[in-house]
Amino acid sequence: MDFLFIIILGGLWGSFANVCIYRLPLEKGVVSGRSYCPGCKNQIIWKDNIPILSYLLLSGKCRKCKNKISPQYLLIEILSVIVFFLIYFIYGVTTTTLFLIILSVGFIIIFFIDLKHFIIPNSLTFPLMILGFLKSFDPNLNTLFPNYVNSLIGGVFGYGIIWSIIFFYKQVRKKEGMGLGDAKLLSVIGFWFGWIAIPFVIFISSIIALFSVIPSLIKKSKNMSSQIPFGPFIILGCILYIIFAVQYKNLLFG
């Protein structure tokens, strides 16, 4: 029964993530108004808005205009269910599960918005920064999370290192490199996981980003000056940090 509940919860929050991914870049309220078909603009009735099931039953099409609905909606709902299930399976009914579920929803929204629009909304990063810092005052936190001192240092360090890269790149190349959205996202990770996570995330995300653009550079469809969304790579780096945090800390401190 617990697993069924967490699966339903994952689907519902995946549906909410889809709303945010669509509306936030358009600066529309995420809780104002019913969902509607982007094609015919008709409101989607409740039975066509059930996560995963409605998409499959309608064969990925709007009931009224028969326009195809992006498979991204299904992908995000399934991804959310998988993430929620894994977090619950590993951490059980704990505050760690609650915190990681909140962070995962934020990460999913940021990942897909930045991937498509090259922006990371402040409306997502600022609340995550605040929550990441406030939770560090809990004395019974999982060792995955830092105390408030390391959290504060991590938040400042995460923002500062990206800001420094942006500043020096602009001085040398006379143009913008990374965006401050990336700095705020890395600051989020610093507040949540402490300063120790920052070098790992920066290194791993840079490696993943490099390998992802190599095929495009070889095909010459992109060059070294082409814009790429770095937020998704930062998130992937953070996920790998969460997975290997214990081994990483043992490597550093024995």
Whether 74 and 57 have beta carbons less than 8 Å apart is answered as no
119 pLDDT band (50/70/90 cuts)? very high
Is residue 104 one of the residues assigned to a domain?
A: no
> Percent of the chain beyond pLDDT 90?
60
Is the full-model pTM beyond 0.85? yes
Is residue 2 one of the residues assigned to a domain?
A: yes
- 106 has which bridge partners? none
Residues 7 and 81 in one domain: yes
Residues 123 and 74 in one domain: no
Q: How many CB atoms lie within 10 A of CB 239?
A: 15
165 pLDDT band (50/70/90 cuts)? confident
220: left (phi over 0), alpha (psi -120 to 50) or beta: left
Q: Closest Cα partner for 209 from 182, 184, 234, 239?
A: 234
Residues 75 and 162 in one domain: no
Domain end among 59, 78, 93: 93
Residues 83 and 134 in one domain: no
Is residue 39 one of the residues assigned to a domain?
A: yes
Give the tens place of pLDDT for each residue, 139-164.
Answer: 888 999 999 999 999 999 999 999 99
Give the tens place of pLDDT for each residue, 196-217.
Answer: 999 999 999 999 998 888 877 6
Cα–Cα distance for residue pair 108/29, rounded to 1 Å: 18
pLDDT(224) > 60: no
H or E, element range at 215? helix 197-219
Query: Would you state the pLDDT for residue 177?
Result: 62
Query: Would you state the pLDDT for residue 59?
Result: 82
Cα–Cα distance for residue pair 212/191, rounded to 1 Å: 27
- Which residue has better confidence, 50 or 177? 50
Give the tens place of pLDDT for each residue, 30-56.
Answer: 776 677 777 777 787 777 788 899 888
Whether 74 and 195 have beta carbons less than 8 Å apart is answered as no
**Average pLDDT of 228-251?**
93
Domain end among 76, 93, 110: 93
Is residue 82 one of the residues assigned to a domain?
A: yes
Query: Would you state the pLDDT for residue 94?
Result: 92
H or E, element range at 201? helix 197-219
> Percent of the chain beyond pLDDT 70?
92
Is residue 98 one of the residues assigned to a domain?
A: no
Q: Closest Cα partner for 234 from 134, 130, 161?
A: 161
Q: Closest Cα partner for 93 from 189, 192, 193, 3?
A: 3
Cα–Cα distance for residue pair 153/187, rounded to 1 Å: 10
Residues 159 and 237 in one domain: yes
Is residue 62 one of the residues assigned to a domain?
A: yes
pLDDT(166) > 90: no
Is residue 102 one of the residues assigned to a domain?
A: no
Runs of H (alpha helix) within 118-147 = 122-134
Residues 244 and 157 in one domain: yes
Residues 131 and 236 in one domain: yes
Token pair 């997975």 is found at 243
Residues 221 and 126 in one domain: yes
Residues 139 and 250 in one domain: yes
Cα–Cα distance for residue pair 25/62, rounded to 1 Å: 23
Residues 68 and 123 in one domain: no
Residue 150 domain boundaries? 119-254
Residues 133 and 233 in one domain: yes
Residues 142 and 212 in one domain: yes
Runs of H (alpha helix) within 24-59 = 53-57
- Which residue has better confidence, 148 or 165? 148
How many domains are contained in the chain?
Answer: 2
**Average pLDDT of 124-141?**
95
Is residue 110 one of the residues assigned to a domain?
A: no
- 36 has which bridge partners? 43
Q: Closest Cα partner for 142 from 192, 188, 216, 212?
A: 192
Query: Would you state the pLDDT for residue 226?
Result: 64
